[in-house]
Structure 1
Amino acid sequence: MNNMEYKISVILPVYAGEDTLPQCLDSVLAQSHQNLEVIIVNDGSPDSCHEIIDDYAGADNRVIAIHKENAGYGAAINSGLSIATGDFIAIVETDDWIELDMFERLVEAYQLVPNPIVKATFNRIQNDGVLNTQSLKHLTHFDENNIGRVVPSESVELFLLESSIWTGLYKRDFLEDNLIRFYESPGASYQDMPFKFIAYSIADEITLLDVPVYNYRVLNEGSSSASSDKALISFGNYDVIKRFLVESDRFPTFVQAFYFHHMFDLVFHASRLKDQGLKQYLAKANSVFDEAKLDGFDVDNASFSPDTNDYYYNHVLPLYKSLISEKTVAVKQKRASIRRKLVEKARLICNKLIVDPVVATLSSSLNSAITKNSGKLVSRINELEHGHLSTEIDRVSDLISQRDLYDSKRSDASVTLMVAPTNQFHYYIRANEKRISILRDEFREGLDEFSLLNERKLFGLYEILPYFEHQGLELKLPLSTTLFTDEDRLILSNLEVIMNKQELDYAHLDLAELPITLATNYFKSGIKYLPDSIPETFKGKLALDCGAWVGDTAIMFASFGFEKVVAIEPMLDNYNCLKRNLERNKQYLGDVIEPRNIAVGETVETLSMRKVGDDGVGSCIVEGGSEGSIKVDSVSIDALVSSEYENGDVGLIKFDVEGFELNALKGAEATIRKNKPVLLISVYHLWLQPEQIFDCKRFVKELDLDYQFKLVHLQPEKDLIYEYMLVCW
């Protein structure tokens, strides 16, 4: 492909700025590289920008005009990204202008050193004169063409550059494949920063061009970006970045870059804010850097290039220390102190395999319904915490930190997983490819990066299933496949060790027949992903556990202080096991859990169900009944609540009813509208109801109750198909 064959989609977000817009557009349309798609997004400009944009669109067929209501800088650029068709994406801000050979130079740099991001430098303009020019020479070596390359994971200084997303080109397929979009926070508050940070952290290498190709007008002192409100909003951007880094297992790699970026921003904002605005900003910043100390952020041993070192140690660090109190951060508990010393992955494994299951089982002592027995149980918890648990945490810490758990260079390493009969869904996807693609796009709307990763994993597994040999329900997969996260590999390559250890950990608990480590953690993980304030609202409310199986989740739900947990299980074998488990743990649970031997659906009716498996009997609903099917009575949640729990305030409903989730949701509409409870919806039964994952989210969204969504996947102690859950709050 020669230079001109590369098509560049140039996105220009516009809000006001009628005086500078023509100069900017002229500089873009006059580029020596003419293969352009110029997408101008008018974000509700209150001035004459609307007319200017339409004039340019009428005069040049490369211009696409989008006029929309004001929704902010990030939303404007995302509107452009959603329709872009070029090989590259460029972003130009309309109070700036670009050199006439900018895109030609960037494409040539890409052809010489092809990487998904090509970044150049820029001139700072003040009063129409060049104030100074940013240099990139401190980042790497540049050749005779002023081209260099940098590895983001090895360069903190790369992240300390001004966001300057507008000096580069981004491969569009790189952005699409990694679902990189702008954070749509209010206003225009530094939304380029999360985009820059996330894109850099994903790229293995970046191409640099040490040539100024962009002219950036320096903000006036009175700019709205200097306000305290804008500065405080910037903390939300950092929350977005950290959440992405943690959930993609990148935080340990980029922890120093993250906090140094935060630190340089602190100094920048502190020099611009005054009075109450500065006080509010510093209060928030102190909280952030308390957390930074716990994460291992080291301010005293930084090593940058000579110029940056001089600026850092003579200006940034002294000002940082004068602004941030040097108070000692209290360690909340011994267990947290131990886990902080481990790598991020080890901390997660310790929490998942030891702390959460025991707390989920035993913390029912905190339930108001069992206050009378709290002394005995608290004593037992303390005994476990200070005797058994600390020893076990040390053991797992040593196991994970000392043992070669998984050698990523071993491409032959594989694992045999139990999977559901899923080939038919693969062929269903193929037969309905275009429609499924549209449905997936709709499903992904509003999901965060963590949820999007799980969505890709789920559908990715269905895509590859037919290409692997497997018999019955077993499938052998190489651990090197990209479907696995690092955490998946850690668990799966040590599954026998972990499962044996779990068996020992729970041997002292009176929980016979209760598979506490799988389904309980699955639904607990849903609650854990809720905002911290929401579980506090459960106290005194009603929980409905639809698909209670053998009581595992009902017992866990009881620990959150619900006045009543209604455990609904239609299969008699499971129901009898549920009752035995409640009886065995009655001394801790009291009567807070009420078991019901019924099914839930859209109406009061009789359903036909079939047993699946022998390990705590699973089940599925079958159409019309057949030989071997079991007839069960079904009731809608609305009918159940209105007739028997009319005065109950429903705080949570769990739906795990084997592909019948949409029907059960429809039968709960009035209850959901009245109470807006947290909804935990299993959406993995795609071989039973191929589109229920889409239908369930659409149903909840169309209730128009402002629900937020998260797609959660239990880590693969069993397999990669089961245990996908839509968390709605």
Structure 2
Amino acid sequence: MISIIVPVYNVENYLGKCLDSLINQTYKDIEIICINDGSTDNSLNILREYEQIDSRIIIIDQKNGGLSDARNIGLKEAAGEYIMFVDSDDWIDLETCQKALEAMLKYSTDIVMWSYIREYENKSLPKSIFDNNIYFDKKDTVNKIYRRLFGLYKEELSQPENADALVTVWGKLYKSELILKNNIRFIDTKKIGTCEDALFNMEVFKNVKSSYFINSCFYHYRKINTSVTSRYREDLYIKWDNLYELMNKQIEDNDLGLIFNEALSNRIALNMIDLGLNVTYSNKNTRDNCYELKKILKNSKVSKAVKNIDLQYFPIHWKIFFYFIKRNRIFPVYMMLIIMNKLRGII
């Protein structure tokens, strides 16, 4: 049986499409664990309506504890031999469970992965991760998947927009025992800001014997303009400093070496884009925002990573951005971030 864990919070406009894609899976031996995380809209009523339609739906109603807490509750309740995560504003193709399980059984792997489509209001954009179906043995899983969770390396920097393409917990089928016997859980984002998926998968993939990638877009990731990523978070760069410490500790504790260190350094440098965009979401004036950017760049981890990142692989617009950052030209950096922010609403 596959346990599908679905955290639910204020998604009344999208929840039906998500649940329809789950109850109509061609593979029928599933349980759908829906954790209502203190929704204040009609989400819980929608869940109860679907519960009457399909007995495989299990509803857990709790006070708001955040995404990590909701997923951890789902893991505690999961009874299946396999685990899949689906966010409640997204949906999956109807043959997803069947295709993923077939691959897992055929290749005797611990994890099966697949690509996704970014679903905007007026268009759909497939995300390319690898060009073919690929089997990864233990060594390749460590060097090509596990390492990439820390950051991009060398030629991978030619596609910096793919930095977190493998990080998400959705778009994967896990063997339950891999998670449960290693007591792997999601960390509270109050400590790290974001990237709870990356830390979870780091714990998982370091224990994986083999994995398999299906070059098909089974998952549909809904891009909503009101996403949490477009809200200003004053302490984000401080929380990400905590995140980098946890990632660095994993490198040191597991003696992962220089390539992993360089990958993490590249992540820290590339994250200047998101930290900078976060600054533009504030209601402060240009002068104050530029001061905030300057303060972030003075952070020892950030300044070292920016100094060391190799620009030779970057597309031209990324080279220009980091050219200004490396020379501490704050105002041009800020103006480029403003343009990026505006383009995000168009592209």
Q: TM-score, normalised by structure 1?
A: 0.38
What is the CA-CA distance between 1:277 and the residue it aligns to? 5.7
When residues 224 and 282 of structure 1 are mapped into structure 2, their CA distance, relative to the original with a 3 A threshold, is farther
Equivalent position of 1:288 in the other structure: 301
How far, CA to CA, are the matches of 2:321 and 2:209 in structure 1? Answer: 33
> Out of 226, 248, 251, which is 1:242 matched to?
248
Asked whether the equivalents of residues 24 and 97 of structure 1 are also in contact (C-alpha less than 8 Å), the reply is: yes
> Out of 121, 128, 136, which is 2:129 matched to?
136
How far, CA to CA, are the matches of 2:22 and 2:303 in structure 1? Answer: 45
DSSP-derived class of the 2:100 partner: helix
Letter in 2 for 1:266: M
How far, CA to CA, are the matches of 2:289 and 2:33 in structure 1? Answer: 37
Equivalent position of 1:199 in the other structure: 204
Asked whether the equivalents of residues 8 and 87 of structure 2 are also in contact (C-alpha less than 8 Å), the reply is: yes
Asked whether the equivalents of residues 3 and 31 of structure 2 are also in contact (C-alpha less than 8 Å), the reply is: yes
Letter in 2 for 1:35: D
> Out of 80, 83, 90, which is 2:84 matched to?
90
DSSP-derived class of the 2:265 partner: helix
State the Cα deviation string for residues 401-448 of structure 1 (Å, max 9, x = none): xxxxxxxxxxxxxxxxxxxxxxxxxxxxxxxxxxxxxxxxxxxxxxxx
When residues 301 and 320 of structure 1 are mapped into structure 2, their CA distance, relative to the original with a 3 A threshold, is closer
How far, CA to CA, are the matches of 1:177 and 1:289 in structure 2? Answer: 36
Aligned length: 301
How far, CA to CA, are the matches of 1:301 and 1:201 in structure 2? Answer: 29
1:168 aligns with 2:172: yes
What is the CA-CA distance between 1:259 and the residue it aligns to? 2.3
Stretches of structure 2 that go unaligned for 5 or more consecutive residues are 152-162, 281-285, 329-347
Alignment of 1:258-269 (within 5 A): 258-269=264-275
When residues 301 and 124 of structure 1 are mapped into structure 2, their CA distance, relative to the original with a 3 A threshold, is closer
How far, CA to CA, are the matches of 2:301 and 2:258 in structure 1? Answer: 17
> Out of 319, 322, 325, which is 1:320 matched to?
322
What is the CA-CA distance between 1:76 and the residue it aligns to? 0.8
DSSP-derived class of the 1:122 partner: strand
State the Cα deviation string for residues 601-621 of structure 1 (Å, max 9, x = none): xxxxxxxxxxxxxxxxxxxxx
Greater relative contact order (Cα < 8 A, sep 6+): 2
What is the CA-CA distance between 1:57 and the residue it aligns to? 2.3
Asked whether the equivalents of residues 264 and 316 of structure 1 are also in contact (C-alpha less than 8 Å), the reply is: no
Asked whether the equivalents of residues 167 and 214 of structure 1 are also in contact (C-alpha less than 8 Å), the reply is: yes
Structure with bigger gyration radius: 1
DSSP-derived class of the 1:210 partner: strand
Letter in 2 for 1:54: R
DSSP-derived class of the 1:39 partner: strand
Equivalent position of 1:81 in the other structure: 75
How far, CA to CA, are the matches of 1:153 and 1:301 in structure 2? Answer: 25
When residues 280 and 11 of structure 1 are mapped into structure 2, their CA distance, relative to the original with a 3 A threshold, is farther
Asked whether the equivalents of residues 27 and 97 of structure 1 are also in contact (C-alpha less than 8 Å), the reply is: yes
When residues 270 and 200 of structure 1 are mapped into structure 2, their CA distance, relative to the original with a 3 A threshold, is farther
Asked whether the equivalents of residues 269 and 309 of structure 2 are also in contact (C-alpha less than 8 Å), the reply is: no
DSSP-derived class of the 2:217 partner: strand
Letter in 2 for 1:185: T
What is the CA-CA distance between 1:292 and the residue it aligns to? 4.7
Asked whether the equivalents of residues 227 and 273 of structure 1 are also in contact (C-alpha less than 8 Å), the reply is: no
DSSP-derived class of the 2:13 partner: coil
Asked whether the equivalents of residues 267 and 316 of structure 1 are also in contact (C-alpha less than 8 Å), the reply is: no
What is the CA-CA distance between 1:38 and the residue it aligns to? 0.8
Equivalent position of 1:572 in the other structure: none
How far, CA to CA, are the matches of 2:4 and 2:121 in structure 1? Answer: 26
How far, CA to CA, are the matches of 2:177 and 2:95 in structure 1? Answer: 24
Asked whether the equivalents of residues 121 and 211 of structure 1 are also in contact (C-alpha less than 8 Å), the reply is: yes
Asked whether the equivalents of residues 3 and 33 of structure 2 are also in contact (C-alpha less than 8 Å), the reply is: yes
Letter in 2 for 1:161: D
What is the CA-CA distance between 1:253 and the residue it aligns to? 5.5
What is the CA-CA distance between 1:84 and the residue it aligns to? 1.0
When residues 238 and 254 of structure 1 are mapped into structure 2, their CA distance, relative to the original with a 3 A threshold, is same
Stretches of structure 1 that go unaligned for 5 or more consecutive residues are 1-6, 303-308, 327-729
How far, CA to CA, are the matches of 1:157 and 1:189 in structure 2? Answer: 17
How far, CA to CA, are the matches of 1:319 and 1:202 in structure 2? Answer: 37
When residues 279 and 75 of structure 1 are mapped into structure 2, their CA distance, relative to the original with a 3 A threshold, is farther
When residues 87 and 48 of structure 1 are mapped into structure 2, their CA distance, relative to the original with a 3 A threshold, is same
What is the CA-CA distance between 1:279 and the residue it aligns to? 4.7
Asked whether the equivalents of residues 269 and 305 of structure 2 are also in contact (C-alpha less than 8 Å), the reply is: no
When residues 266 and 252 of structure 1 are mapped into structure 2, their CA distance, relative to the original with a 3 A threshold, is same
How far, CA to CA, are the matches of 2:209 and 2:291 in structure 1? Answer: 39
How far, CA to CA, are the matches of 1:299 and 1:167 in structure 2? Answer: 29
Alignment of 1:324-403 (within 5 A): 324=326
Equivalent position of 2:221 in the other structure: 216
How far, CA to CA, are the matches of 2:14 and 2:324 in structure 1? Answer: 40
Q: TM-score, normalised by structure 2?
A: 0.76
Equivalent position of 1:72 in the other structure: 66
What is the CA-CA distance between 1:236 and the residue it aligns to? 3.3
Letter in 1 for 2:180: E
How far, CA to CA, are the matches of 1:31 and 1:214 in structure 2? Answer: 13
Equivalent position of 2:111 in the other structure: 117
What is the CA-CA distance between 1:252 and the residue it aligns to? 4.6
Asked whether the equivalents of residues 33 and 74 of structure 2 are also in contact (C-alpha less than 8 Å), the reply is: yes
Asked whether the equivalents of residues 122 and 167 of structure 1 are also in contact (C-alpha less than 8 Å), the reply is: yes
> Out of 233, 240, 247, which is 1:229 matched to?
233
When residues 324 and 97 of structure 1 are mapped into structure 2, their CA distance, relative to the original with a 3 A threshold, is same
Letter in 2 for 1:154: N
What is the CA-CA distance between 1:263 and the residue it aligns to? 2.7
Asked whether the equivalents of residues 311 and 319 of structure 2 are also in contact (C-alpha less than 8 Å), the reply is: no
Alignment of 1:443-458 (within 5 A): none
When residues 45 and 119 of structure 1 are mapped into structure 2, their CA distance, relative to the original with a 3 A threshold, is same
How far, CA to CA, are the matches of 1:165 and 1:65 in structure 2? Answer: 21
What is the CA-CA distance between 1:67 and the residue it aligns to? 0.9
What is the CA-CA distance between 1:100 and the residue it aligns to? 0.5
Asked whether the equivalents of residues 270 and 278 of structure 1 are also in contact (C-alpha less than 8 Å), the reply is: no
How far, CA to CA, are the matches of 1:192 and 1:9 in structure 2? Answer: 18
How far, CA to CA, are the matches of 1:277 and 1:177 in structure 2? Answer: 46
Letter in 2 for 1:300: D
Letter in 2 for 1:320: F
DSSP-derived class of the 2:214 partner: strand
Alignment of 1:306-317 (within 5 A): 309=313, 312-317=314-319
What is the CA-CA distance between 1:225 and the residue it aligns to? 1.5
Asked whether the equivalents of residues 268 and 305 of structure 2 are also in contact (C-alpha less than 8 Å), the reply is: no
What is the CA-CA distance between 1:202 and the residue it aligns to? 4.0
Asked whether the equivalents of residues 153 and 254 of structure 1 are also in contact (C-alpha less than 8 Å), the reply is: no
Letter in 1 for 2:276: A
DSSP-derived class of the 1:166 partner: coil
State the Cα deviation string for residues 72-120 of structure 1 (Å, max 9, x = none): 1111101111121211111101111111011111112212323222110
